[in-house]
Amino acid sequence: MALLEVDDLRTHFHTRNGVVRAVDGVSFAVEPRETLGIVGESGSGKSVTAYSLLGLIPTPPGRIESGRAQFGGLDLLRCSEAERRAVRGKRISMIFQDPMTALNPYMTVGAQITEPLRLHEGRSRREAQTRAADMLESVGIQDAVMRLREYPHRFSGGMRQRAMIAMALITSPELLIADEPTTALDVTVQAQILALIKRMQAALGMAVILITHDLGVIAGTCDRVVVMYAGRILESAATRDCFKQPRHPYTQALLASLPAAHVKGEDLYTIPGMPPDLSIEIEGCPFAPRCGHVVEACRRGRPALEEVARGHASACLRVQAGEL
């Protein structure tokens, strides 16, 4: 059984300039112990999806219009705030992009790492301190006992992200949501942090949702991937299949536009146009105006995400019809 099953999630923001459909009918499942990648460009709705699951959407202007998110018998979108609080930071943890702003500068690292233990498990200060020191050591920070007494500004970017991971994992969650965990870091440090997340995942047997705009990060770490665009999922597949044989023109175009996919000096492939304005209701496929394979039918109705090969779903009408 799936650990988390999201069905038809819609999160809209009601602004003065109209209704922004940030997430518009997203369904996916996360199996225990697997790593699911959510990839998309800015504004595609990947972070809003994660925030919706944990009840972190500011309301108003945001509103969850529809959907269900089953997590161990609980619908995360409909449960009470108390029920959600019991899950958040305990059974589902989240780490954020920017470890500079996600840590509280006025609290010692130790106080922040022990907070989930003390709140959720009612541990004593001393017991929590011991666990926190062990945790900090296992995420690769030396002199953990001493480090717990320091404030975040004494930590480098990579170390802050390690401390965030320690904080997220100290309650041994079943699911970790990592929202662009390495975007603010240097490549060599990024490699260390991704390896750390993988190692901790194996040690704790948890599932991970990794949200990123970096296709390379997905390729190296995820079992399955969903590709988001304009608040919808356009493709969903095992990572290998998605990169080896993408089955949506958007994914194909995205992969084709990477410098690494080109002979040096050759003009880079570019996707014409711009992502759609989400405050205007989209008729048909959201990628149709920029798609090289567009036909008349693409502009009418809304293409559903349908399985086109084993475990490989695409929301492209032409792929579904076997034309592409």
Partner 1 sequence: MSEYVLELRDVRTHFPVRKGVVRGRPACIVKAVDGVSLRLRQGEVLGLVGESGCGKSTLARTILQLAPPTGGTVLFEGRDLGALSPKALRHLRPRLQMIFQDPYASLNPRMTAFDAIAEPMRIHGAATRSEAPARVSALMAQVGLAARFMKKYPHEFSGGQRQRIAIARALALQPALVIADEPVSALDVSVQAQILNLIAELGQDNDLTLMLISHDLAVVRHLSHRIAVMYLGKIVEIGEADAVFNTPLHPYTQALLSAIPSVDPDRAGEPVSLRGDPPSPMNPPLGCPFHPRCPIAEPACAETIPAFIARAKDHKAACLKIEAGS
Whole-angstrom distance, CA of residue 23 vs CA of residue 43: 10
Interacting span for partner 1 (CB under 8 A) from 18-26, 75-83, 126-134, 249-257: 249-257
- Is 1 a binder of partner 1 (CB under 8 A)? no
294 binds partner 1 (CB under 8 A): no
109 scored as a contact of partner 1 (CB under 8 A): no
Asked if 195 touches partner 1 (CB under 8 A), the answer is yes
Closer CB to partner 1, 196 or 206, in the complex? 196
Element (H, E) at 211: strand 207-212
Q: Is the CB of 69 or the CB of 211 nearer to partner 1?
A: 211
- 80 lies in the site for partner 1, by CB under 8 A: no
Q: Does 255 bind partner 1 (CB under 8 A)?
A: yes
d(CA 199, CA 197): 5
17 part of the interface to partner 1, by CB under 8 A:
no
Supply the minimum distance, in Å, between the C-beta of residue 253 and partner 1. 7
The conformation of residue 301, written as its DSSP 8-state character, comes to S
311 lies in the binding site for partner 1 (CB under 8 A): no
Say how far apart CA 164 and CA 7 lie, in whole Å: 29
- Candidate residues 54, 189, 297, 324; the one interacting with partner 1 per rule CB under 8 A: 189
Q: Which amino acid is at 304?
A: A
Contact segment (CB under 8 A) with partner 1 among 45-53, 99-107, 191-199, 308-316 equals: 191-199
Q: Which of 228, 211, 213, 311 is nearest to 24 (CA)?
A: 228
Decide whether 60 or 259 has the Cβ nearer to partner 1. Answer: 259
Stretch of 124-132, 169-177, 190-198, 308-316 contacting partner 1, by CB under 8 A: 190-198
State both tokens at 204.
Answer: 């704790």
CB atoms within 10 A of CB 245: 12
Q: Nearer Cβ to partner 1, position 81 or 267?
A: 267
What is the β-pairing status of strands 175-179 and 92-95? parallel
Q: Are 313 and 224 in contact (CB under 8 A)?
A: no
User: According to CB under 8 A, which one of 16, 105, 274, 296 is a site residue for partner 1?
Assistant: 274
Closest CA to 12 of 53, 59, 75: 59
Is residue 16 close enough to count as binding partner 1 by CB under 8 A?
no
Q: Give the chain's radius of gyration (CA, Å).
A: 21
- Backbone torsion region of residue 319, taken as left when φ is above 0, otherwise alpha when ψ lies between -120 and 50, otherwise beta: alpha
Pairing state between β 35-39 and 224-229: parallel
Choose, by CB under 8 A, the member of 55, 213, 279, 294 that binds partner 1.
213
Which parts of this chain interact with partner 1 (CB under 8 A)?
41-42, 156-159, 186-192, 194-195, 213-217, 219-220, 239-240, 243-244, 253-255, 257-262, 264-265, 267-271, 274
